[in-house]
Amino acid sequence: MRRIALIVIAIGLAILAWSYQTAASEPVIHRTEVSLLPAAAAEKELRLLLISDIHVAGPDMPPQRLARIVGRMNKLRPDIVLIAGDLVSDKKLSTRKYSVDEAVAPLAALRARIGTFAVLGNHDHWRDAGNVRKALKQAGISVLDNDAVRAGPLVIGGLDDAFTNHEDVALTLARMKQLGGVPILLSHSPDPFPQIPPYVRLMVAGHTHCGQIRLPLVGAVSYMSEHGEKYACGEVREGGKTLVVSSGLGTSIVPLRFGTRPDIWVITLRQVATGPDPASQRR
């Protein structure tokens, strides 16, 4: 019995070590393409980078690690960077908590040809939304609170956090229409996706961590989404719209990942081809 207990303990420790190593590993780069740009657009393609849920805190996401990730992102030469909220972390199992300024500072080194845009997440609201907005603006990042901005041929709408009931979908869509351009919606949570009209053909989000702890056979402990796993991870194409949900860079509650990896999404926008749209699909 003692030998069995030691084996069980050893296996448990190995799983914990593996889960921490996964949480602190280099982000996986996912790539997808979406045909959105008008056929007559001057730019034949635009490269968007999506990151979310940075959750700067020790031990897995100190500012130094974020700085390295930013350097890697710059090498991808983005036209636009989209940050889907939750920059800070207050998890009780962290080895060190960082101030808002410390958490956001590495993002000032991002280099995007057209610009970098962000929305707030629930952890940003719980910590200090005003200070997070201020730090982002000081880092040269545009913060969208139920607002919109023109970015080249695009109009980017930013929903404030739906998880804490700060979102205003109608207001954000109205401001997007006022500015014109090809519409893209940035949100922390994917939950508003069913409310988004078909003319907004691309929405990007985070929040779910793709489950963070996703066990074999059992599945994720929680997706923190009112839709369960339906819109919780990766790329979903539905009703002529595309949703891309990032797994995030950092962690929440515990500095562990199992069955999920931190990620960066590279979304290439291309000109719309002539002919009918592809059939709706989920990938």
- How many helices (H) and strands (E) the chain has is answered by 5, 16
Q: From CA 145, how far away is CA 161, in angstroms rounded?
A: 9
pTM > 0.85 = yes
Residue 4's pLDDT is: 77
Residues in Cβ contact with 44 at an 8 Å cutoff, skipping those fewer than 6 apart? 37, 270, 271
Residue 282's pLDDT is: 36
Residue 167's pLDDT is: 97
Spell out the domains of the chain, with CATH numbers in brackets: 2-271 (3.60.21)
- Tokens 């200070």 correspond to 131
Question: In terms of DSSP H, where are the helices of the chain?
Answer: 2-23, 63-75, 100-104, 122-138, 169-179
Question: In terms of DSSP H, where are the helices of 229-274?
Answer: none
What is the four-CA torsion angle of 46, 52, 58, 64, rounded to 10 degrees?
A: 10
CB atoms within 10 A of CB 261: 15
Residue 279's pLDDT is: 38
User: Digits of tens for pLDDT over the chain (283 positions)?
Assistant: 777 766 767 677 777 888 989 999 999 999 999 999 998 888 889 999 999 999 999 999 999 999 999 999 999 999 999 999 999 999 888 999 999 999 999 999 999 999 999 999 999 999 999 999 999 999 999 999 999 999 999 999 999 999 999 999 999 999 999 999 999 999 999 999 999 999 999 999 999 999 999 888 788 888 999 999 999 999 999 999 999 999 999 999 999 999 999 999 999 999 987 644 433 333 3
